[in-house]
Every structure is written in structure tokens, then in C-alpha cells.
Structure 1
């Protein structure tokens, strides 16, 4: 296959020849194209290092089929699934159960192991883990939280096994319980949705990042801080030499949006003030932040339409991450090269995926073609996640028209809409 006259992220116009699932050449004059990309841009497939596809345990929210189709339609060709399913991915047997379900994925994938009071590191580290994921989940509303000693032990074991560690950094001891009490009876989706942001304080994130990076340094571990939502948390990670990610919802939404979102805007970490959001955006733009990843965490409308204490935390995002960032590039707020680095080149480099992340000869032909002038509003009913809604309703985005995984079509919207086969593979083998 030859993709002809495509504009690459760095602005060069090149042909791309694909052979046996691999990029064989990136040059000019490669011959008659199979896909004429004149006037369009070609990106490497995005690597979303943080998704919750909900299987096993919660298929009414999402499945590997629906989640991976949503990914492909948004230009994401590799996803990394987190461990808080049912059963949680904290044992070898639980890993095997999830791996069997993941064979239905339309995109490549990695599976993170987790840490809980029930974890079995001996059996877990025998599996092809992508990372030890979302450890140190200081979450008073869940069951994956661990104490400081277990966190240190888990990081040390991961370092010995040469497995990177992805950390959910919030210190529950610094949550403001009074904020929820001040929310009144908490009935109905609009009952002081902002209380969740007041409850899970910004200070709780910064303190947890500082503690996590100290432990990571002591163990000589590769530490990655998930979904940083504050400038202080980002700076603490960066200054310590850890990598970090920011989600689209923390990049584009703030507490100012909660009047419209209600409890549909509840997530962990929560939305922050507009001033903090702007400071986070600045760090994304200037290179301090390494990765944008979605923390795609779908729930049904009925589940989210509840009081602030009862609504589950999380929002969908795997299909809208790249399109929203492409709109930022179209508007000149970010460069196309910066977008490529945030969603493809950097996560591939950080997590050891040498065949992903760039349009270069020898790499996997994971490619995304889009028309930079074809911007349209995001509509939840048009997305492919099983949950059927989005916190970005009505925002302008640039969606892909063609997504290739190792040279094969996994999503094509050029004439109607079709998906390819479920041929995703575990990137760890």
C-alpha cells in the first residue's frame, strides 16, 4: 500500500509505503498511491497509556470490543488497560482472564497489573505485564488503596522485574471530608457537584507525588505519574525525573464547567480551578508534561445521574483525545509535532514500544489520516463507547477518516463507516 502526498506532523509532504504491516519507506515519488492524501495530514497511531475497558466485571459500561472500536475511531491504535476490574488484575489468574477477553480488541493493547491487599506478585510478574498500574491508589471510595509500606514493596518488586510503575497519586489523609458534608443531602445530579473537587484537594495530589517519587528513586524504578491535575503535581514529578501524564478533561475542563456537567463531571482526581487548568495547559504546551492519556473510565448515564456521594468517578475519553488535540493544533495553540509527541512518540518511548509512535521506516504501520479542515462538534450519540455520552459535548474536534493498525484498516469513515477485524495484539507479546 502507498499513501501518497500526505503532510506529516513536521510539515513535510511525503509518500508512505507499507509492506507486511510495517512502514517500508517515507519518501517522495514512491509511485501511484492507493490512498491519495493530498491536502491531508498523516499521524502515527496514538498510544493511550491509561484506559479502563471494564472487562471483566462491568461489561454493561464497556467491553473490549466497544472500547477498542471507540479507540480506533479516535485514532488510537494502542491502549493500556488498568487493573481495577472484577476480579482486579492483581494475580496471574486474573491477568489470564483479562488477556482472554482482550483478544476481542480491534487495537493493540497492554495490560497493567495492580496492587491491592490481595495481590500475588509472584504469579503476576510471570505474565507479560505492560506496567504495574495505578498503584498507591489512595482512594477512600474504592478497594485498591494500599499503605506506604506495601507501595514501597510493590515499587521495589517492579524495579527488580524491570516493569515500569504507573502511580495514582492522591493522599486520602489530605482529603477535606467537610466539603462533602457541606454539600447538603447530595441528592440529584446537580446537588453541588463542585463538592467533589473541594473534597479531593489539590494538596492531596502534590503531597502524594512527592512521596511517590522519593520511593521510586530509592528503588531505582521507572515511575510514571498518572492523570496529574495540578501544576504542583506536574512540577514535583518533573523535578524528580519522573514522567507524567495529563488527561484531556484536566486539560480542557475546570470547576467552572461543573454547573453544566453536574455529577457527570465527577472523576479522580477531580476537576480543578480554571487558574490551575490554565497552568496545566501551559505545562503541556511547553514540554514539561510528557504524555496526554485519557483515563477513559465510562459509566452509564443512569449511574452518573446520581447524588455527588453516589455517582461513580470517571468519564469516557479514548475517542475524543486526539481529535480535541488536533483542533488545538488547527487553531495554532499547539503544534502538530507537539501533539504527536504527547500522544504517540513520548508514550512509545517511555514504555518501551520501539515499533510505535513515529512515521519512520521499520516501525509498525499504525497510521491515522485526517483532513485538518474537517472540524465538527463532538456528539456523544455519534461516538462508539458503550456509555453513549461525553463530557466534551459540543466542543469542536477533528476526527480521523482512516485508521490503520499494522497496515490493516481498523476504521474507515471515508465512505460511510466501517471497522476492520479484531486483530489487536498484546504489545508485550
Structure 2
């Protein structure tokens, strides 16, 4: 690994912005100071020219589709897109083909990532109604979390047996991450609209089919079970204002046993966008009302919501162009998540310090990731340089996802990721990728 000196950067870290230099040695932040001189002639010097230096973003929820769904995406293609968006570490979900519900299949994914990933990586282990024995084999120091689908699952991953669910919550020390939507409510709503429209249901009804009630019923039940059993629970992709009453900002994140995430699309889009975007913004849980979107943003700022993620879940454009019941839910987001949040900064909706807290610091704290998420001496040197005033427009020529499309296509962002460093190595610069793979498996301080 190269030794690197980044000079004249506006460093955003732990609630402060200060101008200084950062020296990286053997992939580690070695020194952070107002001024640092090169230690030897072979040091690579980057003049940040006043750009903002952020810790590498940690995305706690992505679907990179490998193995089994590689016509949509691969770990290689999507981790490459991630570093273009300043995401240097990701945690990937278990609903691949085959599903990651055995230790054997989990290790196979780690092997793929070790060979192909541009960004640091971990994977969640998937729970089912009948794999508790496998769950108990998972080493909490080596695996990010246990993922349970309490709605909207693929394959046999819907965990809908109450006795099994309570046994899992009671038996594991793993952080439990959950997708919460009540399946029976959704089935009933779908049947109602299908009776009227057939398969071609207008997509504007998606947030009514996958309703506020479906989300709240499932989230509240999961939280009640976590409180009963003492399990550590993380609720993915909140989408409604009503669910916010289930969470607290009265205690520090390190002490919370029940935490929450919001995704970029639920902060950016609303039900007013379905007419223009159609199934391109069909996600589960659904993008809901302007009121819900505004409430989520307010809760994020007030620390009821702890982290921002993407739920990056690409499908081909041909798949998304199907009628409502046949168009899959999900979309690609890793390349555009940080630029979207920086757009909110330009709109005076959020500070740079808060963006870094929610996208870098808090995922590291919440998942107890070892020595990442901060620009601190002794930590792994994952870092992103951002030019806060470098407008660019998302188009097919600069979209890096394998699926080749983005819900942000045509959007002009005011800020741009110019450099991405993974473990001290420059892997991306101004729309150019370097074929450098110094990604590492994430480890956890548990």
C-alpha cells in the first residue's frame, strides 16, 4: 500500500470541520494535524485545495445480487459504483440465489468479495423458520448481523412463525436487522386492487397497498418482541411518520438496544413522484407521502433515526418496465446517495457534520465495526474528498451500475466525489476507476 499525504483539506469529523493535513501510512491514518511534511520522497501527495475530506461512507444495507442474480449486478460492479459515490464499506443482504442461510453459503460470498470487491465488505446471515441451528454457529465478531424478513421476503425467508421468531430473538447475541411490513395486510390490499385493475395496477397505489398500517403493525410487533427478550434490534428503512413514535432520542446511540435506519429514497421522493417515475421508484417499503418524508427527515435530525443507508437493490430496466404486479421492487442507489445528501446540505436542510454522523460514524458505532467510520489516528484510512461546488448531471455515460439506469437520471447535483481512498489506496478519481483492490473484510468489536 502507498503512503499518502493529503494536504489542505477541510476535514469533517466528529461534529467539527477544520482545515488540516492527513498522513496515511500502510493503509492507516497515522497523523492528523494543521500541517504535516512528507516523511520520505516516496510519499504520494494530494493537494485537496480546500475540498472536504470525509470518512468513507458505510452503507449498512445493500443487495449486490451475487450469487445467482448476476444479470442484475455483481459484487464487483456494484462495489465499483459504490466507491464512485464515496461508499468505502458495505453490508450486503442474504436474499441471493442460493440464500445466505447456511455457514457454507455465507463463506462462499466472503470468498467472492475477497477476490472482486473494490470496497470493504461484510454480509448478513439470513434467518428462516427452520435454520436456528445454523444461526447459532455464526461468529458475531466476523459477521455484521442477522437479517430477518418479517414481510416482503424472497424464497423461504419470510419468518412468520411467532414461536420460531421468539426463539431466535431469545437465542442469538447477533444484532438482528429486520424488514418490517405485515404480509397479511399487504396481501389483502393487493387482492383488492388486483380485483379492480388486474396486474396493471396504477403504481400510485403502491404506498396504499404497502400501507402505513402494514409497516407500523410489523415494526411495533418486532420492537415489542425485542423488549421482551432483550434482543438487539435494528429496524431497516423506515418509511412512515407513525413508526417514529416507536423510537427514542433520549439515550446515546452506544446505549440503544433498538435503532432505526432511513434510506435515501424515502428522504428524496414522495408519492407525488410516481406519475413521473412510475415503477422506477417502486420500493418495499413504499415511498409514501410528503408528510411522511418530512417527518422522517425531522426525526433524522433529532436522532430518533440513527443511520442513513441506500437499500441498493438493482434490477434491469426491462424488469422494472413491467406492469405493477410483475415489476420488481428496488433500485440502484450507492453511486448517488452521498451526492443526494450533499444536495440537502445546499438546501440548508442538514449540515455536513450531520451527514458524516449518520453515514459514517453511526453505522460504525451501531454495528461495532472495528476502526472504521472516523478520520482518527490508528483507524483504517477510508476517506472521500468532495468538491462541494462541482455540478454534474446524472446520465447514462456516468452511471456505473451494471443495470445502467438510475432514478436520479437527469438530476444535476451541486457536489461531486472527486477522490475515494480504501485502506489508504486511491481507487477512484474524477469518474476514473483504478483497478486496485485493497478492500478488506470488516471485523467487529464485540
Q: Which is further off, 240-249 or 21-30?
A: 240-249
Report deviation, 1:196: 1.9
**Aligned residue pair count:** 420
User: Which residue number corresponds to residue 113 of structure 1?
Assistant: 125
User: Which residue number corresponds to residue 338 of structure 2?
Assistant: 322
1:177 has 2:190 as partner:
yes
Report deviation, 1:287: 2.3
User: Which residue number corresponds to residue 222 of structure 1?
Assistant: 232
1:393 has 2:409 as partner:
yes
1:31 pairs, out of 23, 34, 37, with 37
User: Which residue number corresponds to residue 303 of structure 2?
Assistant: 287
- Alignment partners' CA distance in 1, 2:27 and 2:355: 24
User: Which residue number corresponds to residue 344 of structure 1?
Assistant: 360
Cα separation, partners in 2 of 1:394 and 1:102, compared to 1, 3 Å: same
Q: How does 1:342-381 map to 2 (within 5 A)?
A: 342-381=358-397
Offset from partner CA, 1:284-329 (integer Å, 9 cap, x none)? 2232211001100000001111011011111111111111111222
Offset from partner CA, 1:121-145 (integer Å, 9 cap, x none)? 3376345321001x14322775321
RMSD: 1.9
Structure 1 stretches (4+) deviating beyond 4 angstroms? none
- Alignment partners' CA distance in 1, 2:177 and 2:263: 14
- Alignment partners' CA distance in 2, 1:125 and 1:394: 47
- Alignment partners' CA distance in 1, 2:129 and 2:191: 28
- Alignment partners' CA distance in 2, 1:211 and 1:44: 35
User: Which residue number corresponds to residue 85 of structure 1?
Assistant: 96
Cα separation, partners in 2 of 1:378 and 1:405, compared to 1, 3 Å: same
8 Å contact kept, 1:90–1:120: no
8 Å contact kept, 1:209–1:237: no
Report deviation, 1:242: 1.2
- Alignment partners' CA distance in 2, 1:98 and 1:296: 17
- Alignment partners' CA distance in 1, 2:192 and 2:421: 47
8 Å contact kept, 1:180–1:196: no
- Alignment partners' CA distance in 2, 1:288 and 1:174: 26
- Alignment partners' CA distance in 2, 1:279 and 1:12: 31
TM-score, normalised to structure 2's length?
0.90
The residue matched to 1:113 in structure 2 has which SS?
strand
User: Which residue number corresponds to residue 249 of structure 1?
Assistant: 265
Q: Which is further off, 136-145 or 308-317?
A: 136-145
- Alignment partners' CA distance in 2, 1:315 and 1:361: 36
Q: How does 1:300-319 map to 2 (within 5 A)?
A: 300-319=316-335
2:163 pairs, out of 121, 127, 149, with 149
TM-score, normalised to structure 1's length?
0.93
The residue matched to 2:172 in structure 1 has which SS?
helix
- Alignment partners' CA distance in 2, 1:225 and 1:126: 20
Cα separation, partners in 2 of 1:40 and 1:120, compared to 1, 3 Å: same
Offset from partner CA, 1:148-192 (integer Å, 9 cap, x none)? 222222222322xxx1110111111222234532661334xxx51
Offset from partner CA, 1:95-126 (integer Å, 9 cap, x none)? 12212211211110111001123535337634
User: Which residue number corresponds to residue 10 of structure 2?
Assistant: 7
Q: Which is further off, 148-157 or 292-301?
A: 148-157
Cα separation, partners in 2 of 1:100 and 1:363, compared to 1, 3 Å: same
Q: Which is further off, 60-69 or 324-333?
A: 324-333
8 Å contact kept, 1:179–1:196: no
Q: How does 1:49-128 map to 2 (within 5 A)?
A: 49-103=60-114, 104-119=116-131, 121-122=133-134, 125-127=137-139, 128=142
Cα separation, partners in 2 of 1:269 and 1:123, compared to 1, 3 Å: closer
8 Å contact kept, 1:196–1:266: yes
Report deviation, 1:331: 3.0
The residue matched to 2:79 in structure 1 has which SS?
helix
- Alignment partners' CA distance in 1, 2:357 and 2:196: 41
The residue matched to 2:59 in structure 1 has which SS?
strand
Unaligned runs of 5+ in 1: none
Report deviation, 1:394: 2.4
Unaligned runs of 5+ in 2: 39-43, 250-255
1:131 has 2:145 as partner:
yes
- Alignment partners' CA distance in 2, 1:140 and 1:20: 42
The residue matched to 2:335 in structure 1 has which SS?
coil
